[in-house]
Amino acid sequence: MSFRQASLAQSQLAQAYGQSVDLTAQVVTDPTQTVNGSYSFLARAIYIDASHGAFKMRIPIRVITPKKSVLHLLPGQSFNAPARIVSSKEGRVGALVLIDADIKVLTQASRWAKSLASIRQGLRNTSGEGDAGALIPGMVLGDTSKQTPEFKVAMKRSGLLHLVAVSGANFAIVSSFVLWCMQFLFTRMNLRLGATAIALICFIALVRPSPSVLRAAAMAAVILVAQGTHRARDSLPALGFAMGAVVIADPWQARDAGFALSVMATSGLLLFAPLIVEKLKGRVPLTLAQALAPPIAAIVFCSPVLVALSGYLSPVSIIANLLAAPAVGPVTILGFIAALISPFSPQLSQILIWLIRYPAGFIATVASWAGQFPVLGLRTGGIGFLIVSLFILILWLFKRHIKAISLVALILILILTWVQRWPAGDWQVANCDVGQGDSMAINLGNHRAIIIDVGPDPLLEDRCLKALGINEIPLLILSHFHADHVGGLSGAVKKRKVSQIWVSTNAEPIVESTRVKSLMTGVDIVMPQRGSRVSIGEFMIELMWPASGTHLFASMPGDGSAVNNSSIALRISSTDFTLFAAGDIEPPVQHELVKGMSSVDIYKVSHHGSKYQDLLLLEALAPQVAIISVGAKNLYGHPSPQTVQALTRLGAQVFRTDIDGAVSIAAKSHQFRVRTSKDGFNLFRWG
C-alpha cells in the first residue's frame, strides 16, 4: 500500500493538481448518483494534456460530474473531456477529477459488457417500484441505484445492511445452488467444484468486480470449499489464504472496515455457528437451531467493528436477521435466474420477480419495523471496540455458561437501551445532531415545535424530529440558504404540517432558495426584519437581524460571508429560559448586535463555533449553556479552540454535537438539566 501511494504521489497526474487538463480515461465502475445529485465512478486515466506537457499513464481516478449522460457509460469504454484535477483523500485513486462539460465517448462497449449490462438493466426494469423492487437488484446483482437513503438507514439500524447489496452470503447461496445443480452433471466432487468456480467467476463479472464484490467472493469461496469437501478443519487456513489474496490484490482492503466485517462474519460462521447449533440442539428444533446460529454468530463476531464505526448496537438485530433469513435464499436464487433470462424471456422473468417481491417486501418490512427500535449507544472508536471485544472474550472463555451469559447480556442491553433513549422525558430546547450543520427545536407541546434550520441531511433531520415526537411545525425558521442549514428541508416537512416559514432577505445561493420555495408551495413565506416581535404560545420571539437596507461588510476568509451576514438572528424568551440563535453571522454583524443585547441562558453559537467571533457579544450574552452544532472531523476546523475557551471562561457549559451528539434541555425557572445522546453511562449533565 505504501509503494502504491508513493507511486501515485509522484505521478504526472499529481503534478497537475489544481490544473485544467484535457483528459482521456477508461471507465472502471458503473456511474452512480451521489447524495448531492452529481454522478461518480472510478476510471483509469490513460492520457492527459496539461500545462506542463502531455503524458500517457495508467492511474486510477475518481470522476465526479453533474452530467446525467454518464449513466450510459459501461466499464471498459474510453472517453475524453476537459477536466480539473484536484487532490483526493481516497487512498486508492491518484486524483479526484471534476468534469463539468459534456463527455465525448471514444470507444463503444464490448459485446460482453453490453450483454452483462442488458442483464442488469433487465432485472432493474422488471423488479418494480418501492423498497421491495429496489432491494431485489441489490441483493441479486449489487445494483443499489433504486434504493433510497431512507431505506438504507432502516436496513443499517435493523442490522440488515449486509442484504442491501451483494455480500459473501449471497455468493455462498448462489454458489451452493450451482454446486447442487452440478450433481446432476458430474459425479466427481472436484469437477463440481471446478464448474461452480467458473460460475462464480461469471457471477463476479455480472455484479461487477468491485473491491467489495471480490472480497465477498473470496469469503464465500472459503465456505464453499469447506462445505463441498466436508473438511471443516481446513476452513481457517482457507480463510487465511483468502485474506492474503484479497490484500495482495488490493492493499487498501487492509484498512477497509468492510473487509474486516467480511472476515469477522466468515470467522463467526466457521467457528461459532457450529458451537451454537450444538448448544441449542435438544433444547429447540434442529431447523430452528440452524436458522438461529448464522445470524447470531455473524453479529457476535462483527459487533466490535460495528460499534467502533457506528457507536451503537441494535438489540433487535438478531431477531431481524432471524426473521429475514428464510426470505434471503428465494430472493437470491430466483432473482439470479430471473436476471439471466430477462434479456430473452422478459415474461418469465417478470413471473419470477412477481414471486420474489413478496419475500423481498417482507425483508423491507422487517427492516422498517426493527429500524424504529432504540439502539444501545456506545462510544465510537477504541472504547466501544474494547467493551464489545471483552464481552465476546468472556463469552468464549466461559462457553459452558453461554446461555446464562447471553441472557444476562441481552437483559443488560435492553435496560441500557431504554435508559439511554434520547431525549427521554420533558424537554424545552433540543439541538439535533445533523453533522456539519444546524437544526434546533423549541417545544410548543402537543407534538408541536418551532424549528430553527434543518441541517444538510433530510434523513438525519427526519430521524431527530421523530425522536422528539414532532408532528407539526407552526413556525419554521431558515436562517439563511446555505445547504448546511436548509439541505434537510424535505426530511423536516415529511408527513408534518408547516404553518409558516421565515427566510433570509438574501436569496443566495439561488439553487437552494429556489429548492426551498418549490418544497414549500402553499406555505406562507415571510422575510422578517429587525425589530419585529412575534408571540407563539408562551414564547416571545424578537428579531435582532437582518436590518432593512443594504449593508456591506468586509468578507471573512472563506466563501459566503455576504450570505452568512444575512442570517436571521433572534432572541426567544419564556418564563423558563432565554435563548439566542443567529445562524452563521460573523463579527461585523455580531458587533452591530452588542448594543442593547442582554444576557441569555442558552446560546446556539454562531457559525458552528468558528474562530470568527466578536468577544464583546459573547460577554454581553454570558450564556449558562452554549451549544455548538458541528460535524465530527469537519474540514473547516470547527469549532475553534479559542471560541470554546472564551465561552468556558465566561462560565458557559459547552456542548458540541460532534462529541456529545444531540442535546436536549429541560428548563424550569432558568434552571437546566441537559442530556446528550452520546454521554454513554454519564447520562446527565447539569447546568
Domains held by the chain: number: 2
Higher pLDDT, 484 or 262: 484
Which residue among 55, 75, 109 closes a domain? 109
The CATH number of the domain holding residue 498 is: 3.60.15.10
229 phi/psi in degrees, rounded to 5: -100, -5
Is 309 within a domain? no
* pLDDT at residue 553, rounded to an integer: 54
* pLDDT at residue 681, rounded to an integer: 38
Q: Does the predicted TM-score (pTM) go above 0.85?
A: no
The CATH number of the domain holding residue 87 is: 2.40.50.140
Is 242 within a domain? no
Q: Which residues of 258-285 are buried (b: 16+ CB within 10 A; e: fewer)?
A: ebbbbbbbbbbbbbbbeebbebbeeeee
User: Residue 572 pLDDT more than 90?
Assistant: yes
Is 662 within a domain? yes
User: Residue 628 pLDDT more than 90?
Assistant: yes
Is 676 within a domain? yes
| Residues composing the chain | 687
pLDDT in tens, 207-221: 776 656 676 677 667
* pLDDT at residue 687, rounded to an integer: 34
pLDDT in tens, 9-37: 888 888 888 888 999 999 988 887 775 56
Contacts with 304 (C-beta within 8 Å, 6 or more apart), sequence order: 264, 384, 385, 388, 389, 392
Q: What is the mean pLDDT of residues 625-629?
A: 95
Q: What is the mean pLDDT of residues 349-369?
A: 89
User: Residue 559 pLDDT more than 60?
Assistant: no
Q: What is the mean pLDDT of residues 618-640?
A: 89
- C-alpha–C-alpha distance, residues 195 and 174, integer Å: 13
Is 404 within a domain? no
Query: Is 246:220 a contact under the CB 8 Å cutoff?
Result: no
pLDDT in tens, 28-73: 888 877 755 678 889 999 999 888 788 888 888 999 888 888 888 8
The domain of 32 spans 2-109
Is 496 within a domain? yes
> How far are the Cα atoms of 266, 310, 390 from residue 387, in angstroms, in the given order?
22, 14, 5
Q: How confident is the model at residue 117 (pLDDT cuts 50, 70, 90)?
A: confident
SS (H, E, C) 374-389: CCEECCCCHHHHHHHH
Is 86 within a domain? yes
**Among 274-278, 284-288, 380-384, 403-407, which stretch is predicted with the lowest mean pLDDT?**
380-384
Which residue among 64, 81, 109 closes a domain? 109
- C-alpha–C-alpha distance, residues 122 and 126, integer Å: 6
Is 139 within a domain? no
Which residue among 42, 77, 109 closes a domain? 109
